[in-house]
A = this chain, B = another copy of it.
Amino acid sequence: MVERTELIKEVTDSVIKVLSAYGIEISTDQHQTDIPISVSARHLHLSPEHVEYLFGKGYQLTPFKEISQPHQYACKEQVTISGPKGQIERVRVLGPSRGKTQVEVSKTDARVLGLQPPVRSSGDLADSSPVTITGPTGTVLKLSEGCIIADRHIHMTPADAAHYGVKDGDRTDVAIDGDKPGILKNVAIRVKDTYALDMHVDTDDGNAFLIEGSGRVRLLKKEEQQL
């Protein structure tokens, strides 16, 4: 998938070159700070043990739709999540299964469930919110922790990171235009060879900033982040 990113960059540069021959100068700077954004609906990741517990012995998750990160996919499988105040049905499982079960919700969802999940990076689950997961045959899985509000983050390759002048673990600011514009702060940078460039926000950020499924945002340079 690194090849895909490289290919996109090469084609983009090629188009910019052609436009330039027509006297249309595209600012490379603008181009450099233009990042795709996707809104992540509530979802969960399941450990291999919990897949079997909820769906039956030897069960394998069924890929249903590719998502923006390579080798990850939405699954056909859906579950119900619940807390002391309420439940939400048809929550999508993302695959493949991974080490620890993790439920990612928005603050709006958390209010429905009656939970107070912390804002965390994926995988950072210590003392996160308890949550109950109910499988399709009624099997109930009570977790003492595992529910978080995912922090705002940008996936990128090492080449992207070099390009934007950031490194894994950095926190940056991102500007969003539109009818309800603004700046999202404390956005985590996640760098890995296998990532594709994409910013992820939850549905609260998506709805607050009127992002319709996807869009493009601007990574602010260090010198723009003085506020």
Contacts and interface: CB of A to CB of B under 8 A. Distances in A.
A111 B213 CA distance: 12
Interface in A157-184: 173, 175, 179-184
A204 interface: yes
A111 B173 CA distance: 28
A75 interface: no
A107 interface: yes
Contacts of A24: none
Best-surrounded residue of A111, A118, A207 (most CB of chain B within 10 A): A207
Q: List the number of copies, as a whole number.
A: 2
Contacts of A182: 173, 182-186
A38 interface: no
A61 interface: no
Given A106-B207, A204-B208, A208-B204, A179 B119 contact: yes
Nearest to A177: B185
Nearest to A202: B208
Interface in A92-121: 106-108, 111, 118-119
Contacts of A82: none
A107 B186 contact: no
For the complex of A and B, the 8 pairs showing the least CB-CB separation, nearest first, are A208-B208, A107-B207, A183-B183, A204-B208, A119-B179, A204-B207, A181-B185, A205-B208
11 contacts: A108-B204, A108-B207, A111-B207, A119-B179, A179-B186, A180-B205, A181-B186, A182-B182, A182-B184, A183-B185, A205-B208
